[in-house]
Amino acid sequence: MQIFSSPRPRTVLALQGGGAHGAFTWGVLDRLLENEFKFDAVTGVSSGAMIAALAVQGMVKAGPQGARTAITKLWTRVMEGNLFGNFPATPLDWMWDTTKALSNDFAWTGLTQALRLFDPAQLNPLGQNPLEPLLRELLDTKALCAPNAPRLYVGATDVETGEAAVFSNAEIGIPELLASACIPMMFPTVRINGRHYWDGGYSCNPPLAPILTPKPETLILIRAQPRQRSGVPSATADIVHRLHEIAFQAPLAAELSMLPRNVRLVDIPADEALSHHPLTSKLNTDRPFLEALFDAGRKAANNALHST
């Protein structure tokens, strides 16, 4: 584990996971970094973990504008590759085709039915994860370990214990980032040092404890999931969707309830941008959708800047 001897950090970042919804986080950070924003530590899971890692290595190489460039390159590659539209051919190609229109009920119904009927080995027989080649291209693990690197923490969920596992700068590579984003119904479980891991959102979303020692002055939390939705769902798919959202918020809510009083919290919500999108939109990597979330993130950052 990397040892840092820096004084009390002034500002730390917490980035929620949310798959393609991480484009909202991209927009928020793009606006903050545009103002030469600097952070002393960052924690994240899933897409938030990948954004955090790219932000740290970009900060090491060229400061805030380097972090901004690195994150933009990540999401540009995601849009160019349409990552979740390029799964290997299976008998369920019809299901993946529906993800091009993920905002409609038919797509969600098709996906949930497939997840009930087929196990992960059938849905993804080659065990491919489209994020792996992307990370091989972009990730610079040496930069993450540089003496001037902000502290970086990535959360995953230990399959057998159900507990959160947190990796720090020198421990973080492609396997750790894939573990943090491992959706167990779609991707093979990630094995690291004899342990097996799933998406960090199940146990920590994201883990806050590491960035609160030493105690910071300000914690900026960027959400990538809506906290509230109007109305009570009645359809099975909508109920499952809302249950997932509630479950993924619970670990973070528990940690926030113990936040020290003298730590200033800047909570940047995603409700306005995401509450009208279904769960399956987390797999939508079409450019117009991601660019709309990016714009919404920049707007949310502007609101935060003007209110603080």
Strands (E), 50-201: 151-158, 164-168, 190-192, 195-199
Asked whether 38 and 65 are in contact (CB, 8 A), the reply is no
pLDDT of residue 7: 58
SS3 86: coil
Asked whether 52 and 86 are in contact (CB, 8 A), the reply is no
Q: β-pairing, 151-158 with 195-199?
A: antiparallel
Query: Residue 211 to residues 148, 172, 184, 263: CA-CA distances in angstroms?
Result: 16, 16, 27, 11
The active-site residue out of 40, 46, 168, 286 is 46
SS3 297: helix
Alpha-carbon distance of 124 to 121, in angstroms, equals 5
In a domain, 99, yes or no: no
In a domain, 32, yes or no: yes
Q: Which residue has the tokens 């940047």?
A: 268
In a domain, 294, yes or no: yes
For residue 18, give both structure tokens: 């949310």
Asked whether 289 and 281 are in contact (CB, 8 A), the reply is yes
In a domain, 106, yes or no: no
In a domain, 184, yes or no: yes
- Banded pLDDT at 206 (limits 50, 70, 90): very high
Helices assigned H by DSSP within 229-280: 236-256, 271-274
Alpha-carbon distance of 236 to 20, in angstroms, equals 23
Each residue's pLDDT tens digit, 174-197: 999 999 999 887 788 999 999 999
93 is catalytic: no
Q: Is pLDDT of 295 > 90?
A: yes
- Banded pLDDT at 87 (limits 50, 70, 90): very low
Total number of domains constituting the chain: 1
Q: What is the CATH number of the domain that holds 207?
A: 3.40.1090.10
Alpha-carbon distance of 75 to 54, in angstroms, equals 11
Q: Cα 114 to chain center, whole Å?
A: 24
In a domain, 228, yes or no: yes
pLDDT of residue 125: 56
pLDDT averaged over every residue in the chain: 86
Q: Which domain covers residue 174, as residue numbers?
A: 11-87+119-307
Out of 92-106, 114-128, 144-158, 207-221, least confident range: 92-106
pLDDT of residue 99: 40
In a domain, 164, yes or no: yes
| 10 or 5, which is more confident | 10
Query: Residue 51 to residues 28, 29, 33, 134: CA-CA distances in angstroms?
Result: 11, 9, 13, 13
Contacts of 96-99 spanning 24+ positions with Cβ under 8 A: 99/280, 99/283, 99/284
The active-site residue out of 30, 40, 199, 286 is 199
Alpha-carbon distance of 301 to 35, in angstroms, equals 11
Q: Is pLDDT of 40 > 90?
A: yes
- Determine the straight-line distance between the first and last CA of the chain, rounded to whole angstroms: 35
> Residue 166's beta-bridge partner residues?
155
46 is catalytic: yes
| 82 or 32, which is more confident | 32
Of residues 295, 279, 297, the one with CA closest to residue 102:
279
For residue 287, give both structure tokens: 């450019």
pTM of the model: 0.88
In a domain, 249, yes or no: yes
Each residue's pLDDT tens digit, 237-292: 778 778 888 988 999 999 999 999 999 999 999 999 999 887 778 888 999 999 99
